[in-house]
Structure 1
Amino acid sequence: MVVTIVPRVESLASSGVLSIPKEYVRPQEELTSIGDIFEEEKKDEGPQVPTIDLRDIESDDPAVREKFRAELKRVASEWGVMHLVNHGIPDELIERVKKAGEEFFGLPIEEKEKYANDQTSGKIQGYGSKLANNASGQLEWEDYYFHLVFPEDKRDMTIWPNTPADYKVATEEYARVLRSLATRVLSALSACLGLEEDRLEKEVGGLEEMLLQMKINYYPKCPQPELALGVEAHTDVSALTFILHNMVPGLQLFYEGKWVTAKCVPNSIIMHIGDTIEILSNGKYKSILHRGLVNKEKVRISWAVFCEPPKEKIILKPLPEMVTEAEPALFPPRTFAQHIEHKLFRKDNPEDEAKSSE
């Protein structure tokens, strides 16, 4: 069997190169919008990614609960991304998860290579870097570590690193508490649409079938950050995505025709509404186009957990309650696997997104 050798961005970054290989240089039309991420994060004018306080998500006071739901619905409809605060996940656990991920990426590359994935043979879990899978052969300035973390019976623990010692314990615990946070958020999003609270969760597979996939993104320092992207513009295919990061800015959202930089909000978790929920809600909730910038000064690490429906068992389509004569179905019925396939052949880009939303 031939294993494709993928160059690690970390090796490239630490080799002392002053200019990046052409495979990492973005097309000219993108370069005009790539700025200095630290300067971008300082800007206070213009739209800012909203913060949602989850303290009142299950309030016993109906008026307080309704006020919370109205705000959640507004943000999910207008933005589809938010900083969650008072989310109930202990700071100490989050710090352990982040420390374990940082220590893993601090290992020598040959140690990390023991966990390498092999995308060409379909072995997608493990340590990896993006293969050039588009016509221009472009690559992203990141390495990553990807594996399924929930449900427990679907995990492949041989993929999970043995070093650092706390990696498995902290990640298992984080997956468990994040799974209950996903239920709480999906319940509120269901109620906001006038549906039964457990409806959306059932539609994406419930406790047995909804998958939580963790991707730790490692963005090394880049000698020419104005030419590269850590992650190119895309929308998430998931139902929900929850993101932690090491407080180095990088996330940008395409909102009202412009790239908006997400601030680093202490003790928050970033949450995206993904395509799956956009489809079920018939576009009432938004899956926002986003990308990741890199920089010269600091390594950025983010921990994304994608909550996904099973690939083949469920047909995703707008829920009947979301479809009327005035608001016909915006999305054809597809399995999750078919949706991913469809997206691979239809390149997301801001211009197309802007046109389609006009």
Structure 2
Amino acid sequence: MVTTVASARVETLASSGIQSIPREYVRPQEELSSIVNVFEEEKKREGPQVPTIDIRDIASEDREVRAKAIEQLKAAAMDWGVMHLVNHGVSDDLIRRVKVAGEAFFQLPIEEKEKYANDQASGKIQGYGSKLANNASGQLEWEDYFFHLAYPEDKRDMSLWPTTPSDYIPATSEYAEELRALATKILSALSLALGLEEGRLEKEVGGLEELLLQMKINYYPKCPQPELALGVEAHTDVSALTFILHNMVPGLQLFYEGKWITAKCVPNSIIMHIGDTVEILSNGKFKSILHRGLVNKEKVRISWAVFCEPPKEKIILKPLPELISEAEPARFPPRTFAQHIQYKLFRKTQDVQAPVTN
């Protein structure tokens, strides 16, 4: 059984010495023209750049300093919906430990990693896995991953957390706690930016008890034909917020003003996406941006994404009444988080099946 599963891993495929990728990894013709050399793209200095936001001051005692910092965060959330956060309060040492532990897990022999394999067909989505085709085209992405719930503590299934390397559990636990505090700080600032009470957005996404932090370590092996594949296909995040670390190998692209823009690698930053959940609550004032991941021939890319998600059924997501008016009617119908996920999957399947007319 292990051999069958392992043969489906992209890592196994990448290390087998193949010169061309299997056709199920090749993107559709209309996408191929936009796939570029990510190292060349990252060097470009002209054109739009993903904003870098210093969030040290969003909790300042000085009202003017705080208001200015919140205004900068608001502008980035409205225009891009993604940003590099600097002075975020998570220590460099903790970030280093999280990265070292995640890399060490992926360096384990494949048989060791398979002990943590998930089983998507039976609904067991946590664990070590690879993308299964979930659309009509049967396309696959050039990545393996490790996925599990990281916070709150009482909802974790520790049997899924690797005991090797030994620092995986302590480093990831501490990091999840730090990100939970950072999420509160960001949601408070975004609430104020919308003219709401400070705790409003956090309450609307489940508060301290219900907001879930899901950790997904994405592992993108070297690809012999990177111009034909994607690590992650174009999507928006369903989360409220997503926080991302990476191993300083470029790959993230954002669809901004009709073009794919490659994010620069900014040292000591955490990338943050506004997800669909906050876009819906803000009635579209804050943007959940379309993004994707490129792969390359020369370097393995690893990213650590933490998705802050509301509970699946307990909350109805809809634009907040204070943000609706005659001039700005509600742009999204009421749905639970689970219904929103289903809606996106259904729409994606429809998109794939629909004939391309342009």
Partner of 2:171: 170
Partner of 1:234: 235
Q: Could you tell me how far 1:4 is from its partner in structure 2?
A: 8.4
Is contact 1:225–1:295 with CA below 8 Å preserved after alignment? yes
Q: Could you tell me how far 1:69 is from its partner in structure 2?
A: 1.1
Is contact 1:4–1:118 with CA below 8 Å preserved after alignment? no
Partner of 1:356: none
Question: Secondary structure at 2:70's aligned position in 1?
Answer: helix
Q: Could you tell me how far 1:70 is from its partner in structure 2?
A: 1.1
User: TM-score with structure 1 length normalisation?
Assistant: 0.96
Partner of 2:354: none
Q: 1:177 to 1:77 in 2, by over 3 A?
A: same
Partner of 2:83: 82
Question: Secondary structure at 2:159's aligned position in 1?
Answer: coil
Matches within 5 A, 1:1-358: 5=5, 7-347=8-348
What is the number of equivalent residue pairs in this alignment?
Answer: 349
Question: Secondary structure at 1:158's aligned position in 2?
Answer: helix
Is contact 1:233–1:348 with CA below 8 Å preserved after alignment? no
Is contact 2:136–2:349 with CA below 8 Å preserved after alignment? no
Deviates more, 1:176-185 or 1:53-62: 53-62
Tell me, in whole angstroms, the C-alpha distance in 1 between the residues paired with 2:279 and 2:250.
Answer: 26
Deviates more, 1:137-146 or 1:58-67: 58-67
Is contact 2:49–2:263 with CA below 8 Å preserved after alignment? yes
Tell me, in whole angstroms, the C-alpha distance in 1 between the residues paired with 2:348 and 2:146.
Answer: 24
Tell me, in whole angstroms, the C-alpha distance in 2 between the residues paired with 1:139 and 1:323.
Answer: 40
Structure 2, unmatched stretches of 5+, are: 352-358
User: TM-score with structure 2 length normalisation?
Assistant: 0.96
Q: Could you tell me how far 1:263 is from its partner in structure 2?
A: 0.2
Is contact 2:106–2:113 with CA below 8 Å preserved after alignment? yes
Tell me, in whole angstroms, the C-alpha distance in 2 between the residues paired with 1:349 and 1:237.
Answer: 18
Structure 1, unmatched stretches of 5+, are: 351-358
Q: Could you tell me how far 1:62 is from its partner in structure 2?
A: 1.0
Q: What code does the residue aligned with 2:128 have? A: Y
Deviations 1:64-83 (A, max 9, x none): 11111111111100000000
Deviations 1:2-38 (A, max 9, x none): x984700000000000000000000000000000000
Tell me, in whole angstroms, the C-alpha distance in 2 between the residues paired with 1:235 and 1:301.
Answer: 19
Q: Could you tell me how far 1:348 is from its partner in structure 2?
A: 9.5
Q: What code does the residue aligned with 1:314 have? A: I
Root-mean-square deviation over aligned CA pairs: 1.5
Tell me, in whole angstroms, the C-alpha distance in 2 between the residues paired with 1:58 and 1:193.
Answer: 16
Tell me, in whole angstroms, the C-alpha distance in 2 between the residues paired with 1:149 and 1:122.
Answer: 18
Q: What code does the residue aligned with 1:332 have? A: P
Question: Secondary structure at 2:115's aligned position in 1?
Answer: helix
Q: 1:349 to 1:277 in 2, by over 3 A?
A: farther
Q: Could you tell me how far 1:347 is from its partner in structure 2?
A: 2.2
Tell me, in whole angstroms, the C-alpha distance in 1 between the residues paired with 2:144 and 2:328.
Answer: 42
